[in-house]
C-alpha cells in the first residue's frame, strides 16, 4: 500500500461512523469465579471512545491496542449479576452499541468433570470418522471449499453429527470418554482437516457443524456416561487467523528476521549447560510455516487464549483438556493456565502432549516433580510407555529391550506424583497404526491391546483400531475413514454382519476388554506390582485387597513356562481363577505353559 492509499484509508475510516464488529469472548457468566475479564473489542474504532454500561461492573482498563482496530476493556466482574450490558463506541457525534451478556450459570453442569484411570478414552479425528450431515461437506465461503475422500490431506466430510450417531456403538465397546482432535474453525487453504491450525477460537468449523451441535454432542455423551475431552492449542494459531492477519499488536506472535522453525529440543529447558539461543529457538521458533507461534509473554494474547478455554468449558460443559504441543509454549504461561483452569473448575483434568524420548523430559512437565517448575499439570501423553510397548511387540526381549524395556520404564514411575494419571496408547492420530506395525499379526495385536487395557494409567485407543485399520505411511493415510461412516459406503463396520474376519476379531477383543475393564476395581482403582521379565515372559498384577488381575505375556516366539510361585507376593497361593479372555474358570499349575506370543489375563480372589 502506498503512503497516499494509506492516508486515504485512514481518512475514510475516520469519517465513517464507528462500528463494533466483534467482541471476544462473545458472552460470559456471572459469578464464574473469574474476577477480571478482558474484552477484545474489534471494529472501526480509530479515534473513537469506548465505554461499557452495566450493573456492578468496574472498568479496570480501557486501552487502545497498537492496531487501532482493537480496544482492550478490562473489567472487574466479581460482583456483577447476570445481565445484558452495553458496549458503546462514539466518535464525532456518531455511536454504535452492541450487547454483551453476563449469563446465569447452569449449576447442573460439570457433573462428569474430570478424567482418571477408570476411563477408556477413544480418540476421534472428526473429518475421518462419520459423515452425519452431507450438507456441510463443502462450504463455498471457506478457503478449502471442497470435499474429496480420495485426497489424503483433503477434507472428507466427517462431522459432529456423525460422532453423535455412533455414541451407542462406542458405549458398547466400553468407551467412557471421547477425545476429538480440534473442532474449531480451520479456514486454511489446504490440509485444514486435522484441526490444529485454528482460525477462529470461538466458532466450531462449519464443516463439522455449529457451536450448538458441539454442545449437543457433549450433552449426548454425558447421557451415555461418557466424558468429553477438548483438544486445545496454546502454542500456535493458523496463518489465516484474523488476529494474525491483522494482529492487535505484533507482540502477540514470535517474530524472526526470517522463518525459523523450532529446534524441538525440549531438553534445553532443563539442561544446566543449555545455550540461551537454543532455549529461545525451542520455545519461540514456529512449529510450522502455517502455524504462527503465539508469544505467551504478551499479557493480552495469553489472556485471550486462557479466557477462551474457560469459555468453552463453561459453554459446552467440557470435562477435560488435552493440550497440543504442550512442551513448546513458555512453561510459566502453561503453569498459570493450568492453575487458573483448575481453580475455576475444580476436578478438571488436563493432560499435555509431551512427544519426547526420555523420562527426564517427560517428568519435567508433570506437576510436583521435585526439580521441575510448579507445572500444575496432572498428566501427559506417555510416550515412554508407548515406545516400550512397541518394543515388546516388535523386538526380541532382552535386559534392556522388548519386555525388559517396559519393565524399566514402569520402574521409573517414581518420577511422577501420580503415575495413574499418565495417558497410555498404542498409536494415535500422528503415529502409524499399531496393527500395521505388527504386520497384521493377530497374536501381537492381542498382546498389545491386553497390556494397554491393564497397565497403569488412562488407556486411549485410536478410532478404527476396532476396525482393523493398519496404515503406517503418512498422516493423511493413517487417518483413514471408518467404513460405513458415509452414506455412499457399501458396507459398515458398525454392522457385525458386514465385518471381515479381521475386523470382527479386533472388535470382539476390544469390546471384551473395554466391558471387563469398566467393571474391574483392580484395573480402574487398583495398585500395580510387576515381576522382572525372564526369557521374554513378563507378568504384572493389578490388585485390591480382595481381587487380583494377573496379566502374563510371552513376548518370545517360542513356548515358555512361568513359575506361578513367583507371583505369590500378590496371589498368596491362589491358583483357581477366571480366565477373562476365554470366559471360563480354570486352575493354573505352578509351572504354567505359555504359547508363543501369548497374552493371558486371569482374575483371582486373594487367598483362594
Do 357 and 504 fall into the same domain?
yes
Has residue 12 been placed in a domain? no
Cβ-based neighbours of 582, under 8 Å, separated by 6 or more:
none
Do 473 and 346 fall into the same domain?
yes
**439 φ, ψ (degrees, to nearest 5):** 55, 40
Catalytic-role residue among 213, 324, 427, 503? 324
- Identify the helix (H) or strand (E) that includes residue 6: helix 3-14
Instruction: Compute the average pLDDT of residues 333-347.
Output: 97
Q: How many helices (H) and strands (E) does the chain have?
A: 17, 26
Instruction: Compute the average pLDDT of residues 2-11.
Output: 50
Distance CA 563, CA 565 (A): 5
Which of the listed residues 520, 545, 577 is the one where a domain comes to its end? 520
C-alpha cell at 130: 462419520
Instruction: Compute the average pLDDT of residues 227-248.
Output: 98
- The partner residues of 321 in beta bridges, in order of sequence, read 230, 350
Has residue 395 been placed in a domain? yes
pLDDT-based confidence at residue 12 (cuts at 50, 70, 90): low
pLDDT at 599 over 60: yes
Has residue 182 been placed in a domain? yes
**pLDDT tens string 183-231:** 999 999 999 999 999 999 999 999 999 999 999 999 999 999 999 999 9
Has residue 403 been placed in a domain? yes
Q: What pLDDT does 368 receive?
A: 74
**pLDDT tens string 542-589:** 999 999 999 999 999 999 999 999 999 999 999 999 999 999 999 999
Do 203 and 307 fall into the same domain?
yes
pLDDT-based confidence at residue 1 (cuts at 50, 70, 90): very low
Q: What pLDDT does 606 receive?
A: 84
Catalytic-role residue among 353, 413, 427, 603? 353
Longest dimension (CA), the chain: 93
Has residue 109 been placed in a domain? no
Cβ-based neighbours of 590, under 8 Å, separated by 6 or more:
563, 564, 565, 575
User: Up-side HSE of residue 578: CA atoms within 13 Å toward CB?
Assistant: 11
The vertex-496 CA angle with 491 and 502, nearest 5°, equals 85
- Identify the helix (H) or strand (E) that includes residue 163: helix 160-164
185 is catalytic: no
Has residue 74 been placed in a domain? yes
Do 564 and 499 fall into the same domain?
no
CATH number (domain holding residue 79): 2.60.40.10
Do 401 and 531 fall into the same domain?
no
Q: Work out the angle between the directed axes of helices 501-518 and 442-454 (0-180°, nearest 10).
A: 20
CA 80 to chain CA centroid, Å, is 34
Has residue 568 been placed in a domain? yes
**pLDDT tens string 374-432:** 899 999 999 999 999 999 999 999 898 999 999 999 999 999 999 999 999 999 999 99
Residue 399 vs residue 158, higher pLDDT: 158
489 is catalytic: no
Do 514 and 537 fall into the same domain?
no
Has residue 542 been placed in a domain? yes
Which of the listed residues 463, 492, 520 is the one where a domain comes to its end? 520
**430 φ, ψ (degrees, to nearest 5):** -105, -5
**28 φ, ψ (degrees, to nearest 5):** -145, -175
Q: What pLDDT does 6 receive?
A: 43
DSSP state of 107: T
Do 203 and 246 fall into the same domain?
yes
CATH number (domain holding residue 588): 2.60.40.1180
Do 534 and 486 fall into the same domain?
no
Do 554 and 416 fall into the same domain?
no
- Provide the Cα torsion 409, 416, 174, 430; round to 10°: -70
Instruction: Give the structural domain span for 180.
Output: 121-520
Do 494 and 532 fall into the same domain?
no
Instruction: Give residue 174's region: left, alpha or beta (phi > 0; psi -120 to 50).
Output: left
DSSP state of 545: S
Which of the listed residues 103, 136, 158 is the one where a domain comes to its end? 103
Do 512 and 472 fall into the same domain?
yes
Counting the structural domains of the chain, the total is 3
Q: What pLDDT does 60 receive?
A: 98
pLDDT at 317 over 60: yes
Do 546 and 422 fall into the same domain?
no
Amino acid at each position: 500500500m502506498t503512503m497516499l492509499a494509506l492516508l486515504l484509508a485512514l481518512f475514510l475510516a475516520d469519517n465513517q461512523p464507528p462500528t463494533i464488529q466483534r467482541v471476544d469472548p462473545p458472552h460470559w457468566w456471572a459469578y464464574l469465579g473469574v474476577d477480571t475479564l478482558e474484552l477484545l473489542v474489534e471494529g472501526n474504532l480509530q479515534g473513537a471512545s469506548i465505554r461499557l454500561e452495566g450493573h456492578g461492573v468496574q472498568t479496570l482498563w480501557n486501552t487502545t491496542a497498537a492496531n487501532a482496530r482493537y480496544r482492550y476493556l478490562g473489567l472487574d466482574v466479581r460482583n456483577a449479576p447476570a445481565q445484558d450490558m452495553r458496549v458503546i463506541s462514539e466518535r464525532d457525534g456518531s455511536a454504535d452499541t452492541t450487547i454483551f451478556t453476563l449469563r446465569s450459570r447452569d449449576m447442573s453442569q460439570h457433573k462428569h468433570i474430570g478424567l482418571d484411570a477408570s476411563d477408556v478414552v477413544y480418540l476421534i479425528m472428526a473429518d475421518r470418522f462419520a459423515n452425519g450431515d452431507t450438507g456441510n461437506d463443502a462450504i463455498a465461503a471457506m478457503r478449502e471449499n471442497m470435499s474429496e475422500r480420495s485426497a489424503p490431506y483433503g477434507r472428507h466430510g466427517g462431522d459432529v453429527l456423525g460422532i453423535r450417531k455412533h455414541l451407542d456403538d462406542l458405549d458398547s465397546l466400553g468407551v467412557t470418554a471421547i477425545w476429538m482432535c480440534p473442532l474449531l474453525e480451520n479456514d486454511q487453504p489446504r490440509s485444514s482437516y486435522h484441526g490444529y491450525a485454528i482460525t477462529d477460537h470461538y466458532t466450531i468449523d462449519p464443516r463439522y457443524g455449529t457451536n450448538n451441535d458441539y454442545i449437543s454432542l457433549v450433552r449426548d455423551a454425558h447421557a451415555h456416561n461418557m466424558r468429553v475431552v477438548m483438544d486445545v492449542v496454546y502454542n500456535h494459531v493458523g496463518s489465516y487467523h484474523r488476529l494474525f492477519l491483522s494482529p492487535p499488536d505484533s507482540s502477540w506472535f514470535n517474530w524472526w528476521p526470517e522463518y525459523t522453525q523450532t529446534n524441538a529440543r525440549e531438553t534445553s529447558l532443563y539442561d544446566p549447560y543449555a545455550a540461551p539461543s537454543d532455549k529461545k529457538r525451542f520455545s519461540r521458533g514456529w512449529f510450522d510455516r502455517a502455524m504462527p507461534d503465539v508469544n505467551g509473554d504478551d499479557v493480552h494474547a495469553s489472556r485471550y487464549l486462557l479466557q477462551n478455554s474457560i469459555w468453552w468449558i463453561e459453554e459446552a460443559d467440557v470435562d477435560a483438556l488435552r493440550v497440543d504441543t504442550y512442551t513448546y509454549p513458555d512453561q510459566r504461561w502453561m503453569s498459570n493456565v493450568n492453575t487458573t483452569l483448575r481453580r475455576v473448575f475444580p476436578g478438571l483434568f488436563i493432560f499435555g502432549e509431551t512427544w519426547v524420548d526420555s523420562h527426564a523430559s517427560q517428568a519435567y512437565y508433570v506437576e510436583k516433580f521435585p526439580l521441575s517448575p510448579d507445572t500444575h499439570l496432572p498428566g501427559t501423553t506417555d510416550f515412554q510407555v508407548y515406545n516400550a510397548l512397541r518394543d515388546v511387540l516388535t523386538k526380541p526381549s532382552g535386559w534392556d529391550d522388548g519386555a525388559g524395556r517396559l519393565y524399566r520404564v514402569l520402574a521409573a514411575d517414581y518420577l511422577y506424583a501420580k503415575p495413574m494419571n499418565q495417558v497410555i496408547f498404542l498409536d494415535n492420530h500422528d503415529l502409524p497404526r499399531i496393527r500395521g506395525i505388527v504386520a497384521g499379526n493377530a497374536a501381537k495385536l492381542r498382546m498389545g491391546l491386553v497390556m494397554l487395557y491393564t497397565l497403569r494409567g488412562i488407556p486411549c485407543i485410536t478410532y478404527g483400531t476396532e476396525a482393523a485399520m493398519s496404515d503406517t505411511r503418512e498422516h493423511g493415510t493413517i487417518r483413514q475413514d471408518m467404513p460405513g461412516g458415509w452414506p455412499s459406503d457399501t458396507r459398515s463396520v458398525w454392522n457385525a454382519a458386514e465385518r471381515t474376519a479381521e475386523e470382527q476379531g479386533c472388535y470382539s477383543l476390544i469390546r471384551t476388554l473395554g466391558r471387563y475393564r469398566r467393571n474391574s476395581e483392580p484395573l480402574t482403582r487398583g495398585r500395580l506390582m510387576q515381576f522382572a521379565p525372564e526369557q521374554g515372559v513378563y507378568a504384572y498384577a493389578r490388585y485390591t485387597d480382595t481381587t487380583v488381575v494377573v496379566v502374563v505375556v510371552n513376548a518370545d516366539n517360542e513356548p515358555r513356562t512361568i513359575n506361578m510361585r513367583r507371583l505369590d507376593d500378590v496371589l498368596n497361593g491362589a491358583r483357581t481363577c477366571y480366565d477373562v479372555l476365554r470366559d471360563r474358570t480354570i486352575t493354573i499349575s505352578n509351572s504354567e505353559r505359555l504359547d508363543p506370543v501369548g497374552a493371558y489375563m486371569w482374575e483371582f480372589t486373594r487367598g483362594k
